[in-house]
């Protein structure tokens, strides 16, 4: 069997490797607590499930939708206006995606030729690397460092790289790093993108998960942002609809036009009842998002305080559903991850899986209730890896 040369870029993911190892350990009757995958454990709002059920009972709902319905586009526009004070034209500045990963992976193929440079955060969400590999483009890593509040330093990008770059991925609040962008940083991004003719792709999937009143800034709310870029969002994390696979891209009209043309060759739309459920979430979900934030903030505080009590002091995230935890000295992230599995039965994701600058960290997902998170703390304490100071 002959494989395409591009398949060399796709190796077995760390998540698959961990899954195999966990199954092996579970067969040995170990009690595992898996905090490695960012899959919400909570249900969607009842009115979302009701809408999905009601429309799924309609025999006429089972044909092709071909694209996002006008009502879905209007719901996205309503949400952006009310949540971020951003005006969007429903027909020309919004398009659906089958979850934001669909957009992230396919987008580079519409704008990058083989050998083109794409600026990508390091560490960053693995889908960026997948999309870059599919387009046969070349990633240029923008390190996210603690001393710079995990924001990329655009002044460090060599001019010859910037002049060859066609896309820039940004992710705030981020995965794996739950950092927040500032207005000053986004203004710098707009100026940089205009100077070098770069398309900015803002991945805003965690926009509704923020704490202590630190509401994230939409890139599109920055003056000039629509001239250079787009924003992707998803209903997976904000409304616990991960399995529904629905999201959207919004922003620059010309970019949306090109992506819509490209997308028309890839699929036949999203199941109508799922679009109706998404409409309900976007138009009626503000109070649910507030309740969801309170749950995650309580989990965050419970877990971070618990880790501190056993001697593992990690930064308290201002947003997102992850803790980006610096590991104790003397370990690398992969060995540390396997040590936690072997000695504590707690599963996290090694930081190097998200890029070279992820070494020295692990990502921990807040996807279990407080009782289970506290049990994870107790198991970590008993492992002997940490010592309270």
* Tens-digit pLDDT profile for residues 274-321: 999 999 999 999 999 999 999 999 999 999 999 999 999 999 999 999
Tell me the domains of the chain and their CATH numbers. Answer: 5-44+287-380 (3.90.1150.10), 46-284 (3.40.640.10)
- Quick check: helix, strand or coil at residue 346? strand
Helix (H) or strand (E) holding 250: strand 247-251
Q: How far apart are CA 375 and CA 371, in angstroms?
A: 6
What are the residues facing 97 on neighbouring strands?
A: 247
Neighbours of 210 (CB within 10 A): 21
pLDDT score at 244: 96
**Over residues 154-179, mean pLDDT:** 97
Residue 2 DSSP symbol: P
pLDDT score at 389: 45
Contact status, residue 214 vs residue 318, Cβ threshold 8 Å = yes
Q: How far apart are CA 193 and CA 196, in angstroms?
A: 5
**Over residues 59-80, mean pLDDT:** 96
pLDDT score at 50: 98
4 pLDDT higher than 60: yes
Q: Which two tokens stand for residue 90?
A: 């429903």
* Tens-digit pLDDT profile for residues 213-227: 999 999 999 999 999
340 pLDDT higher than 80: yes
At 26, the pLDDT band (50, 70, 90 cuts) reads low
150 pLDDT higher than 90: yes
* Tens-digit pLDDT profile for residues 208-264: 999 999 999 999 999 999 999 999 999 999 999 999 999 999 999 999 999 999 999
């Amino acid at each position: 069997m002959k494989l395409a040369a591009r398949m060399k870029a796709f190796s077995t993911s760390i998540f698959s490797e961990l899954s195999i190892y966990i199954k092996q350990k579970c067969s040995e009757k170990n009690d595992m607590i898996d905090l490695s995958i960012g899959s919400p454990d909570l249900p969607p709002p009842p009115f979302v499930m009701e809408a999905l059920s009601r429309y799924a009972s309609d025999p006429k709902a089972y044909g092709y939708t071909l694209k996002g319905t006008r009502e879905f586009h209007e719901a996205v526009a309503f949400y952006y206006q009310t949540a971020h004070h951003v005006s969007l034209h429903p027909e020309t500045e919004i398009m659906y995606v089958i979850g934001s990963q669909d957009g992230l992976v396919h987008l580079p193929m519409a704008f990058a030729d083989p050998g083109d440079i794409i600026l990508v955060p390091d560490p960053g969400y693995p889908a960026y690397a997948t999309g870059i590999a599919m387009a046969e483009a070349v990633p240029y890593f923008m390190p996210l460092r603690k001393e710079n509040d995990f924001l990329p330093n655009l002044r460090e990008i060599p001019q010859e790289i910037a002049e060859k770059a066609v896309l820039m991925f940004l992710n705030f609040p981020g995965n794996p790093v739950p950092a927040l962008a500032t207005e000053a940083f986004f203004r710098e991004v707009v100026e940089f993108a205009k100077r070098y003719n770069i398309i900015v792709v803002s991945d805003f999937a965690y926009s509704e998960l923020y704490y202590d009143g630190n509401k994230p800034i939409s890139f599109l709310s920055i003056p000039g942002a629509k001239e250079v870029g787009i924003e992707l969002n998803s209903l997976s994390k904000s409304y616990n609809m991960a399995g529904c696979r629905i999201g959207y891209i919004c922003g620059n009209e010309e970019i949306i036009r090109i992506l819509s043309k490209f997308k028309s060759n890839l699929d036949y739309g999203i199941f109508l009842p799922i679009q109706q459920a998404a409409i309900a979430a976007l138009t009626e979900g503000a109070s649910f998002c507030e309740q969801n934030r309170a749950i995650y903030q309580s989990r965050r505080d419970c877990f971070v305080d618990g880790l501190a009590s056993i001697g593992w002091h990690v930064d308290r995230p201002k947003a997102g559903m992850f803790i980006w935890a610096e590991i104790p000295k003397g370990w690398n992230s992969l060995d540390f991850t396997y040590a936690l599995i072997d000695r504590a039965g707690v599963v996290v994701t090694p930081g190097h899986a998200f890029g070279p600058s992820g070494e020295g960290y692990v990502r921990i997902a807040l996807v279990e209730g407080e009782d289970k998170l506290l049990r994870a703390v107790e198991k970590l304490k008993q492992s002997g890896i940490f010592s309270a100071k």
